[in-house]
Structure formats: C-alpha cells, structure tokens
Structure 1
C-alpha cells in the first residue's frame, strides 16, 4: 500500500513542470521576551575557543553563569528575506509550506543552486502542488542583522516566524494576494527546534509540522561545538563576513578585471555567487612554484588538500564568492573552521558529492552567540493537535551521535522519543532516512526524503486542492 501511495505521489508530482518564484523582503514586527547575557566582546579566534570550552565544560552551566538575571523585550520592525514559490499551475486552495533552515545555512538550503537544482526540496514540494515560503532567519543571510548576543536569539526568530505565518493566513504577505487556509511548517535542525517552539507557544499557528535533522536528545551538541573549532566569522571568511575591501577585485564601472581559468570574466550566478576569479589549477601552480623556490616538493593533490580542506580554502571562497560589499559582522557571529569540520557535523562520507561539500563550505552562514545560548528551546509537552513527522538521517551526528537506530532501549529510534512532546497530535511518525547525515539536503538520496514528507502531508489532508 505504501509503495502504491508513493508511486501515485510521484506520478502526480510529475504533472507540475516548473516552479514560479519571487524573492521578497518582508518588514516584520518582532516582539520577543529574551534572556540577557553578560559576556565580554570576542576579539580573536582564541576567544571563540574559550567560549566553546566554557560552554561545553561538564562541570559548569555556562549559560547560567553569564545570565544577567533579567529578561528584556526585543521589539521593532526588521526585514526578513524570503522566497515565495508556487507550481506553474496553482490549485484553487493551495497549501503553503513554511520552510526554516538550520545553523550554517540560509534559505537556499531548500532550493540548492547546485548541479542544476537536482537537490531542490522546493522543486519536489511545488511538483506535489504545494506553495512554499523559505526565509533567511532573523539575523542570517539577507535578513536584518542585529546584536548577536542579546537580540538575535531563538525567541526573536520564532516571533518573526509567527508574524509571517499570520501574514500568509490573513492575506498580507507581500506580493501574494491569497489567504492560505492551510499553512504547514517544515524545519531543519535549529529551524526544527524553532518550529517546535512555534507550536509550543502558538498551537494554532500550524496545521502540520515536519521536523528534519532533529531529535530531543542533546547529548552530542557539545561534541558538535568541539568539532566546529569555532572562529569569528569575520576572520574565517573576511571577504564575505568581515570588512576587507573588494576594490582590488573591481575594474572600471565595477566590472571584474580578473580572468578565470579559461580567460572569461567573472559573472554573477543565480544564487549571487561569482565565478572566474581564482581557478584551482592556477592556485596549485602558483603554490607549486613558490614551494619550488624554497626547494620543497609537494604533489598537486597535497596542495589541493591544503587549499580546500583548511582555513586557506575559506579565504579563497570569500574571494571567489561575492561582489557584494562585505557584511562587516560583529564578532559575536561565529562559524566552524573549515571543510573537514563541516563534513564531520553535516555529511555522511561516501554518500555525498565532493563538489557539494565544497559548495556548502563556501556558502556557509554564521551562527550567533545568542542562538547558541538559546539553542535548546522548550522541551516539554505542548498542545499542538496537528500531525507531526520527524525526518532524520540515520547517520545524523548532531542529534543521534552517528546512528539514530542505536537507542539501547525499546524505542525504534532516537528521534521517536520526541513523541512525548506531542500528546495531542493527530498523528506522529519518526522516519529515519538511510545513508544520510545531519545536512539531509546535501546527500545523494535527499529527494527520497522529500517525497516522504510530501506524502505525509497529503495523507493527512494537508495537500493543495
């Protein structure tokens, strides 16, 4: 029966030939009550290391130590960057999926501009008849930036989600003249934690939720911070996140004056990236020549590994990736150190393209101190009454320690334990996707999980009609 349903979904999905998308900037009135922290401003990467050591120390509760003892209201209008997509032929009563990314990503996580969009979640959702809204969370990507310690925290981000959800329901979402009767929410990792927080605070906000890359077991979060070897984002990719001038990369009238490997001018891609500055072969040759002058011999493979898998690669990534002005982020914006840290946390070796891991590293997004300090969110039963699905890769390192089926109990999986949070849910399912790490959307079989999610919504009468 399940196989027939999946085949039916696949056939129906094939009827939609394309998606139609609009990028919008949404002024959102954020209203959140948040803890305030006393922490000296970070100055250098060693300060980020010290923060991680304090935060993960088994004998300390560092969050409580730096809690200022009071909460403050964060209020104001901030811009949230969003992408609204529909099938090329929209149904009369569409359901909209609200998509919230996790740490290290932005809204492009749901519509990866890689390999001709073959990993696009939005392609699969719109092909199944859904509309989608994917956002850059408050403080991340193209959304408004703010104080990374006491403003950009989970409650403020959830407040933005709630306000945008209301816009979708009451017909005030920019450029969309439609009131959605059914709004469902799909999160990834921290975006899943925020989705859970949303329905805990506002049980009527969503008609159904899917929490990907998530469980209620936080045992391995400290291991994740250790793996990340946290750096200040502005020092890790200075040309994207710092205040390093890009003037040298521009010719007259802002045109790129450098040539790529084939002599072509750099050009801006659909995702805003730019090709044509520094080719791998040119870099390798230059370093080989320099080492040769010192009497040192190294293979092209060794040199490439040194470039691609260390912080050197991030410097080059920043050079190649953007023509936009640098973001000049405050030092409270952090990121992991390099490609290998990225792979450890997010990917399952052998089951992703090498090229997509490089893409993930050069387009990574930072995390704020405030987000780390408010990461857990409420872990208590809520009153949400819609269907709940948890979709996690079996080899998820962050929320399952590398094997979501290694429970040591009678539970079928580690994510299945989340059912206790949803005593009123109309249905609950914990689905474990094979051969997949934490960053589900970057794996070979990602689209298989996407179809499982569409089928879940449709089987609970939450599809478009």
Structure 2
C-alpha cells in the first residue's frame, strides 16, 4: 500500500511541478495588498514571493564579522588538476590513512568581514512573527535548498504555520564571499557565522524586527553547524532541528567517493570559472543521486535541477567537517532529528537498523534535554527536501515547533 501511494503521489507531483523550476528565478511578484518586507540590513535587495507564494521575502547580502581560533592548519597544497583531486580523497579515505594522520598541523586564528547571501521570508498575510528559523544548508546546495521549487519549499510550509524563515548561503557558496578555500572556509568559522546571524536576528538587525525566538534548522553539514552552535553557544537559539543527521559516520567514505568530487571551475565553468581549485562540486547527476536521492521517491526533473544549480564546498570544509561536533552538555531545550530513512551518509542507507539512528543522537549529544522528536521519512534519501515526501517532513517539523517552542 505504501509503495502504491508513493508512486501515485509521484506521478501527481511530477505532473504538477515539472515546469519553470529554476531556483535562480524569483518566486513571483508580491501580490497586491501584501506588504513587502523592510529591506533594512540588506544590500543589493530584491523582493519576491517564495516558490509557492505563501511567503514574501527580501533577498540580498548581509554583512557579518566573525572570527575563530579553532580553524585547522593543514599540511596540504591545493591540487593542480582533477586527477590530483581524486587522488586526495582516495588517500584520505584509505584504511589506514597516513595522509589523514599527517594532514592536520594544529589550529590557526582567522577573522574577517564577510558578505553573506541571505533571504528573510515572512508569511504573505501582512504579519511578522516573533519567531524565526535560521536555515543552514548542507554540502551540494545553496540557500535555495529550503525554497527549491513549487511543492518543495520548506519556506512555504513554515509560512503556513505562521513561521518566519531566514535562509543563507554558507561562506564560500552562492552569493556569499568566496574566501580562501583551505585556511578560511572551514567548519569552525561557519559555526561562528551562524552564531552571529542568530544574534543579529534576535537583535533586530534585519528588516527592523527583533525576533524573540530563534530556532536553528540545518541539513547535513548545516546540521553539524547547528549542533555545534547548541554546544558552543547554547543561549543563542531556542530549539534545534537537525535534518539529514546522525552520529553514525560509518558511511562517510562511500558518500565522499560516490560524490565524485570535481574542481568546480572545470565542472561548471560558466558558474564557477573564477574560483580556484580549492572549490569543489559533486561531479555529476549520477553522483548526486548516489549521495542524496533514493528511487522511486523523487522526480527525475528535480534531480536534473539539483545538478544544474548545485553549490560548492571547499577542501577546508571536507577536512574540518568532523572537528566541531561535541556534546551539548548544557543544552536543555527542544531538539528534533528528521531523516530520510534511506539516508546514505548518515545511516548507510537504512536509518532504522540496528536502531533508530535519529533517536540515537539524543543520549550521545543531548544528555540533558527531555524534549526531543525523531522522525524517519520512508522512500527518502539524504536530500530530504528534494523528494516527494518533503512536505510530510516539513509538517512534522512545524508541528514539533508549535508544540514545544514558546
């Protein structure tokens, strides 16, 4: 019965959402009678609706000053060609790996003022909620992972529940500053940027509105960043939603090798031709399907769109991605973990065996919290937002927030 329902929904969704899906296009003009958001705090602004028109959004760049003493220092020179890139990951993921053992040579301090591509969305009913979700995307995407296409928009469903959303391009992605991809664009600095953005949302730096409640919502690497904020800065956000995430790292090697990581400037020269060889992308649509999708739960046109609009990641991020995860020992606020049950990188293709890997996060990383939620979405891979089941997960998350965050 489940398979029949999924395939029927698949056919319906494919027919309904198969045209004009490019996320680079605005969602549409703001309807008459709907007040446009204040553009305060944004530069180079545009105003448009979300993909399904349920939210009205201001987009542009915002300025962030951030620093850390925890970026890693690497004994590494950027590869000169694609063959060397491939060999780096073969060496890194071999077992045992002398390369991995010799890679890190201590820590270093970095600081700077960065431009961050960002979008603030509020419900298209002339209300500005006092609660906002800070949405952090993962590797392989940009901020539009959260507002990808009509019928695949987290922003739209959040707006249905009266929730505001703030989605942004991680440093080095999309419209954000393309900093040094080895020494600067690393996990530790990304955590600091997320922390600063959360504080700015609370302080009213954007659209002249101070949000009293800030919820951190992430996907994959974005969940790693969000979890690190709960550990390092437990007061800055009021709840955490971790999607595409677990404490199981056994599939890290097949995920990275399956991603067929390629030099971004060579793989998509029209989009990334100005970037150096420290910026990488998932190599092909096939590689994207291996890492992020699970048939028959997705529309092939959505896979094609994901390939056409994929985001960059850096060597610095891949080398530092596990360095920021620590138990949030002082965190007592709500946490939910939501996964596609067939997630590859965090569940090796099955989040239910030998235990529920969403539930397994809580005793390891959140020993003090008593308000938790775990949800596994069937027929769904790592890129949850790009599956037919996306809206199912969105509703679970918004309901969890409504019941537990006040």
Max Rg structure: 1
Partner of 2:312: 366
How far the C-alpha of 1:72 sits from its partner, in A, is 1.6
Determine which of 98, 107, 113 is the counterpart of 1:71.
Answer: 107
* Alignment partner, residue 262 of structure 2: 231
CA contact (8 A) 1:94 1:129 kept: no
Once the two structures are superposed, what CA deviation does each residue of 1:26-64 show, in whole Å capped at 9, x if it has no partner? 110011121111212211111111110111011125344
Match of 1:200 in 2: 231
The residue number in structure 2 matching 1:398 is: 345
Q: 1:456 to 1:61 in 2, by over 3 A?
A: farther
Structure 1 stretches of 4+ with a deviation exceeding 3 A read 61-64, 90-93
Q: Which of 368, 371, 392 is the matching residue for 1:448?
A: 392
Unaligned runs of 5+ in 1: 1-15, 243-327
Q: Residue in 2 aligned with 1:437?
A: 381
- What does residue 299 of structure 1 align with? none
Who is 1:169 aligned against? 202
Structure 1 residue 91, shift from structure 2 partner:
4.6
Mapped partners of 2:332, 2:59: distance in 1: 32
Partner of 1:11: none
Q: Which has the higher contact order (CA 8 A, sep 6+)?
A: 1
Cα–Cα, structure 1 residues 61 and 90, in superposed 2: closer, same or farther, change >3 Å?
farther
SS of residue paired to 1:351: coil
Tell me which residue corresponds to 2:291.
345
Structure 2 length-normalised TM:
0.84
Provide the residue aligned with 1:387 in structure 2: 334
Matches within 5 A, 1:6-405: 18-33=54-69, 34-60=71-97, 62-68=99-105, 70-91=106-127, 93-112=129-148, 114=149, 117-173=150-206, 176-242=207-273, 328-376=274-322, 377-405=324-352
What whole-Å deviation, never above 9, does each CA across 1:338-386 have from its counterpart, x for those lacking one?
1111101000011111111000001111210010011123243431121
Partner of 1:145: helix, strand, or coil?
coil
Greater helix content = 1
Bigger shift: residues 224-233 or 128-137: 224-233
Stretch of structure 1 that moved more, 435-444 or 30-39: 30-39
Asked whether the equivalents of residues 129 and 163 of structure 2 are also in contact (C-alpha less than 8 Å), the reply is no
Is residue 2:359 matched to residue 1:416?
yes
Q: Secondary structure at the match of 2:311?
A: coil
Q: Return 5+ residue gaps in structure 2 as ranges.
A: 1-51
* Structure 2 SS opposite 1:399: coil
Alignment partners' CA distance in 2, 1:358 and 1:88: 30
CA offsets 1:120-164 (integer angstroms, 9 cap, x no match): 110000111011100000111110011111100011111111111
2: CA distance, partners of 1:343 / 1:380: 31
Instruction: Answer whether contact 1:93 1:181 (CA < 8 A) is retained.
Output: no
Rounded to whole Å, the distance in 2 between the matches of 1:461 and 1:28 is 27
> Does the 8 A contact of 1:17 with 1:127 survive in 2?
no
SS of residue in 1 equivalent to 2:166: strand
TM-score by structure 1 length?
A: 0.74
Distance 1:368 1:419 in 2: 29
How far has the Cα of 1:428 moved from its partner? 1.4
